[in-house]
Chain A
Amino acid sequence: MQTRTLRAWSWVHKWSSLVSTAFLLMLCLTGLPLVFSHELNEVLLDEPWAPAHADGRRLDLDQVLDVALARHPGDVPAFMSFDEDRPVVNVTSRAPDAPAGQFNFQPIDRTSGDPAPLVAGHPAIEFLLQLHTDMFLGLPGMLFLGAMGLLLVIAVVSGVVLYAPFMRRLPFGTVRTDRAARTRWLDWHNLLGVVTVAWVLVVGVTGVVNTLATPILAVWKDTALADLARAYDSPAPMGERASLDAAVERARAALPGRTLQFVAFPGTDYSTEHHYAVFFHGDTPLTTHLTTPALIDARTGELAAVAPSPWYVKALSLSQPLHFGDYGGLGLKIVWAALDLVTIFVLGSGLYLWLARRRRPA
C-alpha cells in the first residue's frame, strides 16, 4: 500500500473512531446489562403471583380493554400484547395530548380484570434501554446514534484495511511485550479488533437498522398500507369501533397456525388510522422473529387484508435479535457480553493510542 493511500485510510480510521468513540462506549456500557435484561427483570421484578381464577372463564378482549381504559379515563388504546406463560393481557394506552413516547402500560389478569405484576420493564432497565436507544431525545437521538453506528462500520472497515500493513511482519497473535507500552497496546488493539470484526459489524449494522425503525414503519404505512387507508376520509373514532375480540378471531382465522403476538390499534405506528393490525408470528426459530399482520377494518370488523411484511420490515425484525443477542439462550448471551467487554477494550485502547501519539515528543 502506498504511503498516501495508507495515510488516507489512517485518517478515515482515526476520525471515524474519534467522533464516535464516546457514544459507542456509552452504547457498549448500556448494552452490557441489556443483554441480560430478561434475567435482570426476573430478579428485579420477582413477585409471587397467581391468576385470581386459574380455571375460571376468561374475560374477552373487549372487557379487558374496558377495564384498562376505566383505570386511565380519557386514554386511547395503542397496543395490546399477550403473555405466553400466564393469562395476562398487557394494555398500552396514552392520553391524546401526551408527549410522543409517553404511554401507560397495564398488565391485566384475564381471569378477573385485576392488575397483574410486571414481568418486564423494570424502571432501571427501561432507563438503560432508553439511553441506549435514543438518549431520551426521541427520533433525532435514534438517528444520531444510527450515524454513530455508521461511523463504527467505517472505523471497522478502515481498521481491517490498515491491519494488513501493520501486520505484514507480525504473525497472527503477536503482542510485542518487550516494546514500549504504546506498541503493546497497538498489538492488543489489532489482535482483539480483528477477531471481533464479524460480531462488531453484525451488531453495528443491525444497530443502525434498528435506529431506522420509525422511518421504516412510516414507509411501510405509506406504501404497503396506503391503499387500505384511502377508502376513508377520517380516522375511526373510538365510539364506532367494532368488537376487538371478534377482530382478533377473524385475524386468527385468516392466519391459522400462527401465534398471536400483539394488536396495534388504529392511529399507532404499526397500523393505519382505520384498522386493528393483529400481528402473528411463526413457530420456527427464525419465523418467531418475523411477524405478519392481518388488518381488520375497525369500523366493520371485516378482514381488510393480510399484509405480509416487505423485505425492509423483515430486515428490521431480524435486526432486533441480532443486535441484542437474546435469541440463543444464556450461553450466547454470555459470549455476547464477553464480546461487548472486548469491544470496550478495543475502543478504549484506540483512544489511548491516539492520546499517546499526541503526547509523544516530536
Chain B
Amino acid sequence: MSRRDLGPGAIFGAPLALAMLSLIGLVGALLADGAWDWIGAGLLALSLAGAAAARLARRPADHQPRPSSRQ
C-alpha cells in the first residue's frame, strides 16, 4: 500500500455505516409498526441519500487534477 492509498476504514467506513442503518431499518419495520414503519423507510432511504450527499460533497474535488489511480 502506497502512502496515498486509503485504509480499509476510509474505503468501507461510509458504505458499512449505510449498510448497518439499512439493515436496522429493514428489521425494525418488520418487528414494529407505526412510527417504525417510517423510521425503517427513512433508514433504508439513507443508503441513497448518503450516496447523494457524498456525491455532492465530492463534486468540486472530482474536477481537480489528481495523481493517476490504478484504473
- Which residues of chain A have a CB within 8 Å of any CB of chain B? 163-178, 183, 186, 191-192, 194-199, 202, 285-286, 289, 318, 321-322, 327-329, 331-332, 334-336, 338-339, 342
Contact = CB atoms under 8 A, between A and B. Distances in A.
Given A171-B10, A186-B71, A331-B41, A285 B32 contact: yes
Interface string B34-71: 00111011101101101101111110011100110111
B71 A198 contact: no
B39 to A, nearest CB: 9
A335 B37 contact: no
Given A166-B71, A169-B6, A318-B30, A329 B41 contact: yes
A164 B45 contact: no
Interface string B9-27: 0111111001110110010
26 contacts: A163-B11, A163-B15, A167-B11, A169-B5, A172-B11, A173-B14, A173-B58, A174-B58, A175-B55, A175-B58, A176-B62, A177-B62, A183-B71, A194-B15, A195-B51, A196-B48, A198-B26, A202-B26, A285-B33, A327-B30, A328-B37, A329-B37, A335-B41, A335-B45, A335-B48, A338-B48
The 9 A-B pairs of least Cβ separation, nearest first, read A173-B54, A328-B29, A331-B41, A198-B19, A198-B22, A173-B58, A329-B37, A332-B41, A328-B37
A177 B11 CA distance: 20
Contacts of B1: 168
Interface of B: 1, 4-6, 8, 10-15, 18-20, 22-23, 26, 29-33, 36-38, 40-42, 44-45, 47-48, 50-51, 53-58, 61-63, 66-67, 69-71
Contacts of A176: 62
Nearest to B52: A173
Among A163, A170, A195, A196, residue most surrounded by chain B Cβ atoms (within 10 Å): A195
Contact of B4 (A169, A186, A285): A169
A318 B27 CA distance: 11
B6 A332 contact: no
A169 B10 CA distance: 10
Among A166, A169, A321, A328, residue most surrounded by chain B Cβ atoms (within 10 Å): A328
A168 B69 CA distance: 9
A191 B4 CA distance: 20
A138 B56 CA distance: 47
Nearest to A338: B48
Q: Chain B: interface secondary structure?
A: helix
B60 to A, nearest CB: 11
Contact of A167 (B6, B51, B57): B6
B26 A199 contact: yes
Given A191-B55, A196-B47, A328 B69 contact: no
Contacts of A289: 30
A336 B22 CA distance: 11
Nearest to B67: A169
A342 B57 CA distance: 20
A312 to B, nearest CB: 18
Nearest to B28: A328
B22 A165 contact: no
B15 A197 contact: yes
B41 A334 contact: yes
A174 B11 CA distance: 11
A173 B41 contact: no
A80 B70 CA distance: 62
Nearest to A184: B62
A167 B12 CA distance: 9
A170 B62 CA distance: 10
A78 B42 CA distance: 41
A283 to B, nearest CB: 11
Contacts of B41: 328-329, 331-332, 334-335
A279 B68 CA distance: 63
B47 A331 contact: no
A171 to B, nearest CB: 6
Nearest to B18: A195
